[in-house]
Amino acid sequence: MARTQAADYEQRREVIVEGAARLFASMGFRGASVADLAKVCNISKSLIYHYYPSKEDVLYAVMASHIDQLIEDVEEVVARGGSPADQVRNLLHAFMHHYVGAADRQKVLLNELANLPDANRAVIVAKQRVVVDAVQALVTRLYPDLADRPGAARAQTMLLFGMINWSHTWFDPAGPISPDALADMAAALFLPDS
């Protein structure tokens, strides 16, 4: 007979993922042990292994939870429609709000990809491409002259990500600039005639 899941199964998994994001962001994946993670989460090592078979599986869960949210952000913005400029602006706002609440996950995604097993890394990279390709499609609509120059379109897209992806290293959401104001600044630099 199959064992039933506890009513709080998903909440416990999320506690582990959140603790792992903080731990891996501060100590690095290789610098943190499962014992460290158990201590941060205030649970036993065996309970971590009950929810995740390995430390690499926890790392994958941290990254997947973050990139899945970014995919959801893209899908919601595109579904709302609007001009390409409006969609880029809305996407910058969605991403910045997400980054503020997930700075540790963003740092882990950007810095720890090489520590995933090949199959899991391939899944995360494919999900990253979904986000980048969707944004590149918007950029190409925004700058039609890039339609026949995919290399330039990719570079323009990556410049946009370059403006916001590393904001977790310096942006203070409690500081004088709000996430929305920062998104507006990025939009003003990126969008034509802003």
Average pLDDT over residues 134-156: 96
Q: What is the pLDDT of residues 5-48, one digit of tens each?
A: 666 878 889 999 999 999 999 999 999 999 999 999 999 999 99
Residue 4 scores a pLDDT above 70 = no
As a 3-state breakdown, the chain gives helix, strand, coil percent values, each rounded to 5, of: 75, 0, 25
pTM of the model: 0.89
Q: How far is it, in rounded angstroms, from Cα 14 to Cα 158?
A: 30
Q: What does the mean pLDDT of the chain come to?
A: 93
- What does the pLDDT read at residue 6? 66
DSSP string, 84-115: HHHHHHHHHHHHHHHHHHTHHHHHHHHH-GGG
Give the HSE-up count for residue 157: Cα atoms under 13 Å, Cβ half-sphere: 22
Domains delineated in the chain: 55-190 (1.10.357.10)
Q: What is the pLDDT of residues 97-126, one digit of tens each?
A: 988 888 899 999 999 999 999 999 999 999
Please give the backbone phi and psi of residue 182, each rounded to the nearest 5 degrees, phi first: -65, -40
Q: How far is it, in rounded angstroms, from Cα 31 to Cα 94?
A: 32
Residue appearing with tokens 């910045």: 96
Q: What is the pLDDT of residues 44-103, one digit of tens each?
A: 999 999 999 999 999 999 999 999 999 999 999 999 999 999 999 999 999 999 888 888
Instruction: For residue 186, count CB atoms less than 10 angstroms from its CB and return exposed for 0-12, middle for 13-18, buried for 19 or more.
Output: buried
- What does the pLDDT read at residue 192? 86
